Amino acid sequence: MASMIADYVIVGAGSAGSAIAYRLAEAGKSVLVIEYGGTDMGPLIQMPGALSFPMNMNRYNWGFASEPEPYLNGRILATPRGKVVGGSSSINGMVYVRGHALDFEHWQDMGATGWGYGDVLPYFKRMEHWHSGGHGGDADMRGSDGPLHVTRGPRLNPLYSAFVEAGRQAGYPVTDDYNGYQQEGFGPMEQTVWRGQRWSAANAYLKPARATGRCDVVHGLAERIAFTDGRATGVHLAGGRLVEARAEVIVAASSINSPKLLMLSGIGPAAHLTDHAIEVRADRGGVGQNLQDHLEIYIQMAASQPITLFRYWNLLGKAYVGARWLFTRTGPGATNNFESAGFIRSNAGVQYPDIQYHFLPLAVRYDGQAAAEGHGFQAHVGPMRSASRGDITLKSADPMEAPRIRFNYMSDPQDWADFRTCIRLTREIFAQEAFAPFRRHEIQPGEHVQTDDELDAAIMEHVESAYHPCGTCKMGAADDPMAVVDPECRVIGVDGLRVADSSIFPRITNGNLNGPSIMVGEKASDHILGRSLPKSNAEFWTHPGWAISQR
C-alpha cells in the first residue's frame, strides 16, 4: 500500500482548506491537501464574467441536488459545490461579504466562545488585500496586505447608480462599505477579483502554499478517516491509498461532504450509522443536522433603453467579451457584474439587516438563460435568517454515492411572509424616480401577481438557492449534544481531528459565505498552531431607530 505522510492532512482544497494549508506551510509545517477535483486552469474559471459556466459543468461541480422539497411542491433544487482546486471559490459568483457583526456575536451566544465580532475581525483583516478603487470605504477596518484581493467593479453602467439612488429615495441609508462600519444600506458590491481574474482561494492561498515546498496536493476521493488507538492518523483514499498525518487531520470538504466523511468514518448519529452497518466511533447527533441556506427570487424588469448586458447576449457579443478579456483582462468579462448591493431590515424591531440584494444589469438565470424580453435588469432578493432547517444523511455506506440532501426550504411559515415582504419592498425600490428613465414593466413575477396567494404561488415556482449551504457540523460548547466541533474546531469525542469550513457555522451569516468560510480557515489555522490574534474593539453601526422603524 503506497503511503504518503505529512505533519497535517487537509481534506478539501477549497476556501477554508486552502487558507489552512497556506498558514500551516508558512509556519514551517508539512501539509498534504487531498482534493478529488482537477485543475482550475483555463478561462471558464479564471474569467469572472464566465461564472455561469463552471457552476453548471460536471467537470468542476459535484452536481449535488436536493431531495424533492416538500414545501416547494416537490421541486428538486440544484446544490452545486466545487469539485476543483479552489473548491467552490473557483465556481462561485465571487461576491465578497463578511457578514454582519451581530452574526458573530450570535455565534458566541450559541456557544462558539471566542468567535464574537471582536475575535473574527482581525482574521478578516489578515486575509484581505482590499482595494477601494477610490470609492471611499472604511480603510481602518479593512486589511491591506492579505492574500485575498477584494475589489469593486467599475460600476460604469448607469443602472448600478440608479439602484443605489433608488434605495436612498425609498428612505434607506447609503453605505460606502458594507464590509466596514455599516452594513445596512445601499452601495457598491465587492468581489474577489484581481486584475480582471477570479481571485479564488486557489490563487490566493494554495498556489503560494505550494510555492513554499512544504505543501502538496494529493488527488483522490477521501473514503474515510484512519484511526490508530482512537486518534485520527490519516485518510483512506479510494484505490487503497493511505495519506498519513503525524499531527492532525483537518476536514474542510464543504457543508455537504464534511458531514458525509465524518459519518462514513463512524462519527455521527449512532442510530443512522448503525442503519448503514457503520461502526460507531463517536455518537454525535449533530453531524449532518442544522443544514441552512439562503433562498432568493429574481425580481426582473424590462428595460426601456438598450443599455444592459443583453447587448452581448449573442455569438458576436460573447466573442468580443471573451477576446477583450483574454488580451486585456478588461471589459464585462473582467467583473462578476454584481456591482451594487443592498442590505435592509424587513420590519421595525429587526435589529440588523435580514434582506440582501444583488443587483445585475441583465435579466438572466444562474443557468445562463436570458429572459425572453431582451434588455432587462434584476435584483436577487431573499431573507437572510430563515428558521427552516434541513439535514445531510447517508444514502449508503458507499463513499462514491452522494449523500441525501434535504433542506426543508420554506418549512417555517414565517419564510412565506418574509418572501412576500422581500418582493413588495423590491417593487417599491424599482418604482422610485431613479429608475424612471430605465424601466418598462415587471417580467418576473409580473405586475398581475399581487395577492398573498398569488405571491406564494410565484415564490413556490421561482425561488432558487443562493448556494450558501452551511451548518452541518455545528460549532458549540463541548457539552452541547448537537455540537460537532468545539470552539477550536476539534471534533468532540475524537482526538487528532478537526473540521473547519462553512459546515461549522452555528447559524448562517448575512450575505454570501465565501468570505466567512475563508475566515474560518484563517482562524482555525491559528487554533491548530496554538496562537491567536489580539481581539479588536472596533465598533459597528446599527440603525438608531431599529426598534420602531423599518428604515
Query: Catalytic residue numbers?
Result: 468
Closest CA to 353 of 187, 171, 184, 107: 184
Residue 230, marked binder: no
Q: Is 95 annotated as a binding residue?
A: yes
Q: Tally the C-alpha atoms within 13 A of residue 130's C-alpha that lie toward its C-beta.
A: 26
Q: How far apart are the first and last CA of the chain?
A: 64
Residues in a beta bridge with 234: 226, 244
Q: What is the largest CA-CA distance in the chain?
A: 71
11 in Cβ contact with 243 (< 8 Å): no
341 near 386, Cβ under 8 Å? no
Secondary structure letter of residue 214 according to DSSP:
S
Within a 13 Å sphere around the CA of 106, how many CA atoms are in the beta-carbon half? 14
In whole angstroms, what is the distance from residue 485 CA to residue 480 CA? 10
Q: Please check whether residue 467 is in contact with residue 405, taking contact to mean a CB–CB distance below 8 angstroms.
A: no
The reply to whether 42 sits in an annotated binding site is no
User: Over 479-500, what HEC string results?
Assistant: CCCCCCECCCCEECCCECEEEC
- Which conformational region is residue 542 in: left (phi greater than 0), alpha (psi within -120 to 50 degrees), or beta? beta
SS3 328: helix
- Please tell me whether 94 is known to bind a ligand: yes
Is 84 flagged in the annotation as binding?
Answer: yes
Say if strands 282-283 and 267-268 run parallel, antiparallel, or are unpaired. parallel
In degrees, to the nearest 5, what angle opens at C-alpha 333 toward C-alphas 92 and 183? 50
What SS3 class is residue 370?
A: strand
Angle at 115 between CA 110 and CA 119, to 5 degrees: 150
Q: What secondary structure, in 3-state letters, does 124-173 show? A: HHHHEEECCCCCCCCHHHCCECCCEEEEECCCCCHHHHHHHHHHHHCCCC
N residues, the chain: 551
Neighbours of 428 (CB within 10 A): 13
Name, in order, each residue with C-beta under 8 angstroms of 242's C-beta and a sequence gap of 6 or more. Answer: 1, 2, 3, 4, 226, 234, 235, 236
Binding-site residue numbers are 84, 92-95
Binding-site residue numbers for FAD are 84, 92-95
